[in-house]
Amino acid sequence: MSGAERDYQRLADEALGGLVGEQPAEEAALALAVLINRAVTRLHGLSRGEATARKEQPDWPLWAQLQNASRSLVLQASTCRDLAARLAGRRQ
């Protein structure tokens, strides 16, 4: 199945359901915050690598913009993860 044929929204929702399930709100918040932190960290690494590799190519600006946007999200996601950990009574 090619990437164009995959239903990423449905797959993400299924994965989230499996991750969160019937957990208490504090644990669900922590699970979601950790997931988003890890996902955006990977997105930033991917986009940074592609932006570097595609310098001076037509699609470079899009990769550079994605890198910049994801960098901001990494910082916000880290804050969410830390706050959710405090709600759950844990240290991250």
Domain definitions of the chain by residue range: 3-87
pLDDT score of 80: 97
Q: State the Cα–Cα distance between residues 27 and 25, nearest whole angstrom.
A: 6
Q: Tens place of pLDDT for every residue, the chain, 92 residues?
A: 555 789 999 999 999 999 999 999 999 999 999 999 999 999 999 999 999 999 999 999 999 999 999 999 999 999 999 999 999 997 65
Q: Residue 14 CA to chain centroid, in angstroms?
A: 16
